[in-house]
Structure 1
Amino acid sequence: MQRSATIRRLGGFSLLELLVVLTLLVILLSLAAPSILAPLRGSRLKNAADTICAEFAKARVEAMESGRVRMFRFQTDTGNYQVEPWLRASDTQENNIVGEGERVIGNGLIEQSVEATTRQGTLAEGVTFMGEQVDVDMRSYETTDGQIADGQAGYSRPILFYPDGTTSDAAVVMKSEDGGMTMVKLRGLTGIAKIGEYQSTEDLSQ
Structure 2
Amino acid sequence: MHGSSVRKRLIQRRVAFTLLELMLVIAIMVAAVAIALPVMRGAFEDQRLRKGAEIVQTEFARARNQAIKTGKVQVFQHGVFSDRFATTEQSSLEDALLSSTADDNSSQAAYSQPGAAPGLPMRTLPEGVYFVGADVRVDQRTSVELSSFEMSPAMEDVGSTAASREATRDVSWGMPIFFFPDGTTSTATLTVANDRQQAIEITLRGLTGLARVGNPQVIDALNAAGRSAAARANR
TM-score normalised to structure 2 length: 0.65
Q: How far apart are the structure 1 equivalents of 2:144 and 2:89? A: 16
1:26 aligned onto 2:15: no
In structure 2, the partner of 1:128 is: 130
Q: Which of 79, 99, 102 matches 1:102?
A: 99
Q: State the AA in 1 paired with 2:146.
A: T
Deviation at 1:203, TM superposition (A): 7.7
Contact 2:99 2:119 in 1 (8 A): no
| Larger helix fraction of residues | 2
Which of 176, 182, 199 in structure 2 is aligned with 1:164? 182
Counterpart CA distance in 1 for 2:128 and 2:190 is 17
- CA, structure 1 residues 147+127, in 2 after alignment: closer, same or farther (shift >3 Å)? same
- Of 194, 197, 204 in structure 2, the residue corresponding to residue 186 of structure 1 is 204
Using the TM superposition, give the Cα deviation of residue 128 of structure 1 relative to its aligned residue in structure 2, in angstroms.
1.4
* CA contact 1:60–1:70 (8 Å) conserved in 2: yes
- Considering only aligned residues, what root-mean-square deviation do their CA atoms show, in Å? 3.5
- Would you tell me which structure has more strand in proportion to its own residues? 1
Aligned residue pairs, count = 188
Distance 1:11 1:57 in 2: 66
What residue identity is the alignment partner of 2:31?
A: I
Q: Is the 8 A contact 1:186 1:193 kept in 2?
A: yes
Give 1:46's match in structure 2, choosing from 37, 50, 59.
50
- 2: CA distance between counterparts of 1:56 and 1:204? 24
Structure 1: segments with no counterpart, 5+ residues: 92-97, 106-114
Q: d(CA) in 2 for partners of 1:173 and 1:181?
A: 7
- Give the CA deviation at 1:177: 2.6
Q: Percent identity between the aligned chains?
A: 27
- Which SS does the other structure have where 2:122 is aligned? strand
Contact 1:69-1:162 at 8 Å conserved across structures: yes
SS at match of 1:11: helix
> Is the aligned partner of 1:175 residue 2:179?
no
Q: Deviations over 1:26-52 (max 9, x none)?
A: 222222334434433322222111111
The amino acid that maps onto 1:102 is S
* Inter-partner Cα distance in structure 2 for 1:162 and 1:25: 57
Is 1:155 paired with 2:173? yes
